[in-house]
């Protein structure tokens, strides 16, 4: 009997738990914050626990694309999603999305998931989602609310976002999952060198990021301070936005002090941050900006606005200065204060690095997301255990 028991225990130990199958739908090859988080939700996860397939939603057509090319691109993406669900048979589908047109495209993905009886998770990025929900009415509001309420989990970036969404739509199952970044010890060593590049903004040049407020605030600095610290913009934007910002720079006589770098490779962005004196992001709306986390990881002091999950990421006066959005005067005062005080910038940068190590590491992100996936996968397994009723046979039995 003892021999049989030993044999059984050995057999049980050799039985491997099947990997959870996940399909990640998002811009996994895109530049920017959403792309970085989408890639992390693929590359950082434990391959022994998860079998991950991807459906890349990165925009593959130019800005001035025709209506036909846009529709053709969406049709190919739609077919690719169906093919991935059929071949991979995921236990959970993770949909990375944001607001407005992007979310309406995601609603098509949600419809596919529900028609094919697949459990899905909605991961909300960007800072305009609350504004987007508030703009909806009628059937659009019902459609969006229905998709949110039927999601296995709605993932948001902070507690403030949880509160905002619960105020807009009742009945959602919400999980808070802050963004994270991969930390590099080599980057920290470089960041300890005293920098002298100036003020750096990283992000797209769209209106919600308010780069114009930063230009106006920079113009209000004393002339000797502007001569010591240049202003650097890193990020793309539409031709109209770039033209508007360059025109504003010319009107304020700042063309020799403001540099527009355009979009840069991630390695170049990291180097620029490590050489910066101050990182500034004056957005009027944010989720939880990856650029801020990267500035913190580079030991840089920051000035940011009181929006989104930013107050949950940094404390005012400790890791950064927090100002009100759309207030160039308050922004200029904060810049003047920190640029004149290297010791304060250094202490803020060190506190910021410690905060990102403790609270926004990849390991924390992986642990939290793994728990969400495995919990949702169990629901899918239970759903698959219930056979789909066949209309013909059900009707036939009722007649008999």
The pLDDT assigned to 13 comes to: 45
Residue 305 CB contacts under 8 Å (≥ 6 apart), including other chains: 281, 282, 283, 284, 286, 322, 323, 324, 325
Instruction: Give the span between the Cα atoms of 333 and 357, in whole angstroms.
Output: 29
- The pLDDT of residue 63 is 67
**Three-state SS for 278?**
strand
User: Quick one: pLDDT at residue 396?
Assistant: 36
What pLDDT score was predicted for residue 384? 67
pTM comes to: 0.87
Of the candidates 194, 106, 184, 187, the one whose C-alpha atom is nearest the C-alpha of residue 146 is 106
Could you say which residues of the chain have pLDDT below 70?
1-17, 61-65, 185-196, 383-400
Q: Are 188 and 370 in contact (CB under 8 A)?
A: no
Tally of CA atoms within 13 A in the half-sphere of 121 that contains its CB: 33
pLDDT at residue 126, as a whole number: 87
The predicted structure's pLDDT at residue 16: 64
Alpha carbon distance 123, 344 (integer Å): 36
Q: Where along the chain do its domains lie?
A: 17-180+361-377, 185-359
Tokens at residue 296, please?
Answer: 């913190």
CATH architecture, range 185-359:
3-Layer(aba) Sandwich (3.40)
Query: Can you tell me the distance from the alpha carbon of 214 to that of 212, in angstroms, rounded to the nearest whole number?
Result: 5
**27 CB contacts (<8 Å, ≥6 apart)?**
34, 35, 38, 56, 57, 58, 59, 96
Q: Which pLDDT value is given to residue 212?
A: 97
How high is the pLDDT of residue 62? Answer: 66
Fold of 17-180+361-377: Rossmann fold (3.40.50)
Cα 118 to Cα 83, 90, 126, 150, 175, distances in angstroms:
13, 7, 25, 11, 19
Output the CA–CA distances (angstroms, integers) from residue 106 to 2, 53, 86, 113, 121, in the order listed.
57, 18, 18, 10, 11
Phi, psi of 310 (to 5 degrees): -60, -45
pLDDT of res. 66: 72
List of residues 6+ apart from 32 with CB closer than 8 A: 204, 290
Q: Which of 51, 123, 126 is nearest to 89 (CA)?
A: 51
| Res 15: pLDDT | 52
Condensed to tens digits (0 to 9), the pLDDT of residues 349-378 reads 999 999 999 999 999 999 999 999 999 999
């Amino acid at each position: 009997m003892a021999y049989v028991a030993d044999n059984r225990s050995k057999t049980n130990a050799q039985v491997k738990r099947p990997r959870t199958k996940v399909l990640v739908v998002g811009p996994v090859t895109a530049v920017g914050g959403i792309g970085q988080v989408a890639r992390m939700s693929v590359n950082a996860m434990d391959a022994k626990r998860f079998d991950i397939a991807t459906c890349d939603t990165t925009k593959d057509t130019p800005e001035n694309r025709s209506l036909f090319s846009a529709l053709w691109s969406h049709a190919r993406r739609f077919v690719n999603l169906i093919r991935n669900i059929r071949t991979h048979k995921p236990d959970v589908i993770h949909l990375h999305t944001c607001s407005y047109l992007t979310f309406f495209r995601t609603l098509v993905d949600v419809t596919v998931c529900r028609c094919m009886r697949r459990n899905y998770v909605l991961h909300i990025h960007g800072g305009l989602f609350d504004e987007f929900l508030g703009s909806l009415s009628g059937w659009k509001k019902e459609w969006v609310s229905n998709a949110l309420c039927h999601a296995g989990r709605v993932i948001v970036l902070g507690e403030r976002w949880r509160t905002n969404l619960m105020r807009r739509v009742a009945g959602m199952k919400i999980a808070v999952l802050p963004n994270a970044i991969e930390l590099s010890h080599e980057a920290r060593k470089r960041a300890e060198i005293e920098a002298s590049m100036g003020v750096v903004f990283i992000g797209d040049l769209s209106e919600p990021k308010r780069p114009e407020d930063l230009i106006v605030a920079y113009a209000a600095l004393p002339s000797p301070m502007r001569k010591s610290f240049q202003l650097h913009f890193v990020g793309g934007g539409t031709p109209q936005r770039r033209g508007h910002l360059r025109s504003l720079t010319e009107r304020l006589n700042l063309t020799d002090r403001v540099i527009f770098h355009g979009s840069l490779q991630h390695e170049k962005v990291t180097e620029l941050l490590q050489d910066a004196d101050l990182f500034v992001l004056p957005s009027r709306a944010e989720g939880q900006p990856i650029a801020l986390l990267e500035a913190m990881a580079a030991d840089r002091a920051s000035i940011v606005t009181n929006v989104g999950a930013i107050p949950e990421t940094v404390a005012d006066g400790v890791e950064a200065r927090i100002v009100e959005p759309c207030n160039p005067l308050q922004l200029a005062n904060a810049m003047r204060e920190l640029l004149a005080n290297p010791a304060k910038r250094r202490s803020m940068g060190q506190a910021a690095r410690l905060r990102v190590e403790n609270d926004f590491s990849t390991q924390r992100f992986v642990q939290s997301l793994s728990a969400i996936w495995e919990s949702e996968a169990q629901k899918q397994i239970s759903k698959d255990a219930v056979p789909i009723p066949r209309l013909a046979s059900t009707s036939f039995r009722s007649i008999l």
